[in-house]
Amino acid sequence: MDTKSDAQRAAGTGGSARRGTRAAGHERGGTALEREPAAVGVELPAPRGTGLSRRFWVEEPAIRRRMPDPVRTAAVRAVIIASVTLIQAMVAFFSTLAGSWLAFPMVLSSVASTVVATWGVLDVWVTRQVWNQRHGVVSVPSSTARRLRRERRRARRAARAAERDGARIRRRGAGRLSEA
């Protein structure tokens, strides 16, 4: 809660220590993190005797970045599978209580769905690990993935340059050995 008084707000002091600071690991240009959060809603009275007022709602920038598309797709799939599994388990439970013939098939399908739901959760984890391994951590300037990509680029350039030099030497020396 932001507890700046009206006098501090009018003078523009107090609460501005947050402005200009950045959270650890967030180096995205800083525009969203440098500005003061916008207040939305109604001013509430502060506790008696404090002389301060407080805001009802304070918007703050997102702490986490958005998940990559493949990871988000796998997570949505896992949530849908898990919800279907829970619905099947509830139907199996209630049909068992009612003594319905549907109880046994639903119990079997619930067991199978539990196995599939476990696979779905593991799929999210594996997809996330593969994404991080392929694309690396982008938010940190001294990222290991960036350094490895830079080294691979240098090695490819050096290999192409060596190949060009080798082709140039072969072209130059092809006819001159027999001329001497």
Least confidently predicted of 9-23, 43-57, 142-156, 163-177: 9-23
What's the rounded mean pLDDT across residues 112-139?
89
pLDDT at 150: 87
Q: Does the structure show a pLDDT above 80 at 7?
A: no
Residue type, 87: I
pLDDT at 85: 96
DSSP notation for 80-109 = HHHHHHHHHHHHHHHHHHHT-TTHHHHHHH
Q: For residue range 83-95, list pLDDT tens digits in order.
A: 999 999 999 999 9
Q: Does the structure show a pLDDT above 70 at 64?
A: yes
CA 134 from chain centre, in angstroms, equals 14
167 burial level (CB within 10 Å; 0-12, 13-18, 19+) = exposed
Residue 75 and residue 78: Cα distance in Å, rounded? 5
Helix, strand and coil percent figures for the chain, each rounded to 5: 60, 5, 35
Reported confidence tier of residue 126, pLDDT bands at 50, 70, 90: very high
